[in-house]
Amino acid sequence: MKIKNDVFVYAEGGGKGNDSSASQAEFRQAFAAFFSKTLLGTTRRPRVVTCGGRDQAFAMFTTAIAQGKNALLLVDSEDNVAPAHEPPPAGNWQPWAHLSLRDGWQKPARANDDDCHLMAPCMESWFLADWTAVGGFFGQGFTAAPLPTGPIEAVAKQDVYTALKQASKDCKTKAVYGKGAHSFKLLSLIDPTRVMAASPWAARFVQELGKRKP
């Protein structure tokens, strides 16, 4: 039975098509594990709706907001966010402005900036914040040498993927990093505290969920 005050997160990812149900279930479980290590705890966590592609996530969020649901959108920023659309002192939180420029999306009538959240530039960027967990997962042969340094949100999406593949290419018990094979497993293992410290956009997302927790 639907709980009136439930918070719904419409998230990009989890695959599309008839064979995506297992992947989407793994994505939901990974977020549940991630949330359980934050102040959101293990009860009444947000309901993550895995939507496949980003356009589908936006469409499903738009419908949910129109229906009056307590809904958030969570998508990759894909590109680096312009300083004017980032937090003070550079600018202000303006995720819809970023998505309007990049994707041509218009903010739904009932939505505001607090409803829109970015993984900057992608979910895998969060892994850069906790190489201890990533290295522990891949085991022997994993090397941190190729890993980017500096602010994780400034690392281009393709550079994040390249770093993960280079760091894991000599692992003995795991294949080289693959998004479908490893991303959700890593999401369930990383430390949210480290992610939030390294990614202002991630911190904003978790903090907003905390404000809305029933």
| Whole-number Å distance between alpha carbons of 55 and 162 | 25
CA–CA separation, 164 and 181 (whole Å): 13
Beta bridge partners of 52: 13
DSSP 65-90: HHTT-EEEEEEE--SPPPGGGSSTTT
Evaluate whether 125 touches 190 at the Cβ level (below 8 Å): no
Q: Report pLDDT for 149.
A: 83
**What is the per-residue pLDDT for 1?**
34
Per-residue pLDDT of the chain (214 residues; tens, 9 = 90+): 344 468 999 999 877 655 678 888 999 999 999 999 999 988 888 999 999 899 999 999 999 999 999 999 999 999 999 999 998 887 889 999 999 999 999 999 999 999 999 999 999 999 999 999 999 999 999 998 888 888 999 999 999 999 999 999 999 999 999 988 899 999 999 999 999 999 999 999 999 999 998 7
Sequence-distant (≥ 6) Cβ neighbours of residue 151 within 8 angstroms? 198
Output the CA–CA distances (angstroms, integers) from residue 116 to 12, 21, 27, 58, 84, in the order listed: 12, 25, 19, 10, 16
In this prediction, residue 2 carries a pLDDT of 41
> What pTM was estimated for this model as a whole?
0.93
Give me the pLDDT at residue 19, please: 63
